[in-house]
Amino acid sequence: MSIHYFLYSKSQHELVNEHLKEIICIYEKMLQNLKTNFKKEEVFNKQEEIKLYETIRDKYEQELIENMQYCDMLKDLSCAACKHNYVTDMIDLTPDKSKYIEYCDICLHTK
């Protein structure tokens, strides 16, 4: 497969990771809201609802872990398939400090 396929797949999986992180954050907020804002006397079973949200959140966290591992694999495959074209560039570390780096302008692998 071509380097472009691996790089495209990696970028799309990174996008999926960002969405998974957002979903996990939403469930965390829902759990916090449920734990702090509702009394035991409410109509629904609070503990069952908490358990359900935790189970759903945990499934998304597992998906995130697996997807991150896949992203790492795609990064390694793209690096191995790339005919590197290294360039030197200066990046700012702070407003007063810069550093030279050398990276491939195709796959972004750094030396």
Q: Show the beta-strand stretches assigned E in the chain.
A: 86-94, 97-104
φ, ψ dihedrals at 84, nearest 5°:
-55, 140
- pLDDT value at position 27? 96
- pLDDT value at position 52? 94
Q: Which residues of the chain have pLDDT under 50?
A: none
| Three-state SS at 70 | helix
CA separation (Å) from 87 to 36, 83, 105?
53, 13, 7
- pLDDT value at position 42? 62
Ramachandran region, residue 108 (left: φ > 0; alpha: ψ -120 to 50; beta: rest): left
- pLDDT value at position 57? 96
**What pTM, to 2 d.p., does this model score?**
0.74
How far is residue 15's CA from residue 9's CA, in Å, rounded to a whole number? 10
